[in-house]
Structure formats: C-alpha cells, structure tokens
Structure 1
Amino acid sequence: MFPHFDTQRLSARPITLQSDSVDTLAQDTLALLTPAVQDTLPGHWPAVTNVSEAQSWLQARTEESMLLAVRRLSDGQLVGFLILSPTVLVQVGTSWHLGYLLGEAHWRQGLASELVQGLMAWCQQHQQVACLRAGVSKDHPSSARVLQKCGFSEIALPEGPEGVQFYEYHFHTPAGAN
C-alpha cells in the first residue's frame, strides 16, 4: 500500500505516470530541480536540465521506488517529492529507505520536518513499516538535523557510500533486542 497523508500544510500522494498529467508534472519537476536542489541528491542520479530529462527522472524514480508528490494544501503547488524504497531488514521487518526533496523556494520553512513527521504518523497508524532509514550527505547537515529533530538515530553502515551518514527510526523494538 502506498502511503498518502496530509499534514497541516502539505499533502503527499502517490504518483502514477499513467494517470497524472506527465507534461505538467515534468515541467513542475524541472522548476523544482534547481542546481542547488540537485546538489543535495544522490550523485548517481542524472542531472535534469530540460522537460525530457525531468520526464526520464520521474520515470526512473517511479520504477525504483514509491514516489509521492508533495503539494501545498493551500493551493496544490508542487513543493517536492517523497521517495520510499521498501526493503526487509533481518530481525526488524519491513523497512523503507526514505528520501525527500523540496524545491529551493520551500527550504527553511519547517516543511521537511513536517513531511517526515507526517510519514511517521502514517506509518504508526498503518503499522506496515518497522523501520525508516535515510542516508544524508555529510555536506548537507540541514537534512541530518531534520531527521534528528524527528527522532531518528544515527547508525553506522560499513557498506554505505563514502560521505553519507545514515539514520534510522524504529516503530517498535526488534525481536530479541534489548
């Protein structure tokens, strides 16, 4: 089940490229993915500089994960994306790798914390996810602060990419853990 939820200022809904207006969504995505925003994204994702590349970016994200459009409740404007990749962690259960991005115009307004807290509330209510995990570039401390503010704990992942710090939030104590 794809999560979908509202917070005080935001709405997060799954994107299906078959039913959403792909051209409009691609144009809105291109506007969000400024160079500063793209600098915060994983290095293996290709640069987006035109509508065609934005369509490809959206297609790739929907193929590899659950992609949710994050819109302002007040006017429906696209402000960012929530990206969730399900995995299973031994002794923990279902885990979602969490990624999020907000357009540059929406930074420093508390929206990222609100978005992550909204996802956490949805997970708590639906009890389908045991753990949320997120990776943050060490060059992007504001994103790490969002996760810490939401109650995530820093973890060591030896197999993780260099320059990325990981955080986890557990909704219950894993079986056998003390």
Structure 2
Amino acid sequence: MLDPLLSPTLELPQWQARLRPWSFADAPALVEYANNQRIAQNLRDTFPHPYTKQDAEFYLCLMADQQRDLHLAIEADGNAVGSIGVHFKTDVRRRSAEIGYWLGQPYWGRGLATAAVQLVSNYVFAHFDVCRLYAVVFESNPASARVLEKAGFELEALMRKSVVKDKGILNSLLYAKIKEE
C-alpha cells in the first residue's frame, strides 16, 4: 500500500519540530519520553510501562519492517519526543484509517500534538485513497480529545464501557474527520 512518499519528513516550523521516520538512533530518546505512566495510562496495553530499552528496540525493529501503515517520530529539540501513526483499514473499511499519537510530557500544552495531527491528516487525505480518519480516546483523557477537536475532528460517539484499562472499565470517545470531496 505504501509508496516512496510514505517516508516523509514534514516540517512544523512554528515549533522548530518535524515529523520523520523512526531511526534506531532514537532508542534512548524513546525510552526517556515513553517511560511515563501518565502516557501509558491513556494508550492501549501494547504500550508497555515501564518502557525499557528492549521495548524501544523491539518497536524500532517493527518500524523498520513496516510496509502498510504510517509511523512517524515527532522530533523537537533534536530528539524523538513522541509518535504519530496512521493504521490503514481493509475490506469494507478500506477508505478509512485510524490515527493515534502520544507526546512526551515536557511537550504537553504547546500545541505540538494538534499541529502533528493536522499535518498528518492533511498528508493522508492528499496522498491516499482515504475519505475518513478516526481516533478513539479514553473519556478520562480530555486533553487528547481537545487535540482532536482543535485539529478538526468531530465527536461521533460515546462508547460506553468499551475499554478495560488497569482493572477498570472506561468509556471511550470516537472522533472522526471526513475528507471533503
């Protein structure tokens, strides 16, 4: 599905940041920024906590072999400080894709996540046969919901008791952005 365009470097000049492909050299920064319970509590259980060097190396190996989906490092101050990805769907959902992201805590509240979501959304709509991008956030994570809203996503549904996390059952929120044809 991916073509050579899919290893883009996308500039975020206002933040002196960019989105770029992951590199094995990112392992130390990945451990530094990903090893945070406040991040892990808002992501799927496949995102480990604590986040170790072995976890970073495993993830970077997966990214090196990635052929189908888009996974980019969010780079600021010369380091990979977060991640943004798009998972392209198949079959009857082949024109839909799911977007996900996380950002290191020192970079929260600066608009960087919103800018990254906007940039990737525009990129996907321009370069792929996708008419719908969506994201699911835990109801207990209003900051992430706000990122999506500021990036032009609209709340479509409250999914009651749809997530099991840390022995609790949570509601989640479904947001979507539709490509205007």
Q: Could you say which TM-score interval applies, normalised by the shorter chain?
A: 0.7 to 0.9
SS of 1:53 mapped into structure 2 = helix
Contact map agreement 2:26 2:79 (CA 8 A) in 1: no
Name 1:171's counterpart in structure 2. 179
1:52 and 2:54 correspond = yes
SS of 2:38 mapped into structure 1 = helix
Q: Which has the higher contact order (CA 8 A, sep 6+)?
A: 1
Gaps of 5+ in 2: 164-170
1:12 and 2:41 correspond = no
Name 1:41's counterpart in structure 2. 43
> In the superposition, relative to structure 1, how do residues 157 and 138 fare at CA in structure 2: closer, same or farther (>3 Å)?
closer
Shift of 1:27: 1.2
Aligned AA for 2:179?
F
Gaps of 5+ in 1: 174-178
CA RMSD of aligned residues (A): 2.7
Deviations, residues 54-84 of structure 1 (Å, cap 9, x unaligned): 2224445665843211112xx4221211121
Name 1:176's counterpart in structure 2. none
| TM-score, length of structure 2 as denominator length | 0.77
SS of 2:89 mapped into structure 1 = strand
Quote the Cα distance in structure 2 between the aligned partners of 1:26 and 1:164. Answer: 31
Higher strand share: 2
Quote the Cα distance in structure 2 between the aligned partners of 1:98 and 1:81. Answer: 11
Q: What are the equivalent positions in structure 2 for 1:66-145 lying under 5 Å apart?
A: 66-72=70-76, 75-88=77-90, 90=92, 93-145=94-146
Quote the Cα distance in structure 1 between the aligned partners of 2:78 and 2:91. Answer: 36
| TM-score, length of structure 1 as denominator length | 0.78
Contact map agreement 1:48 1:54 (CA 8 A) in 2: no
Percent of aligned pairs with the same amino acid: 26
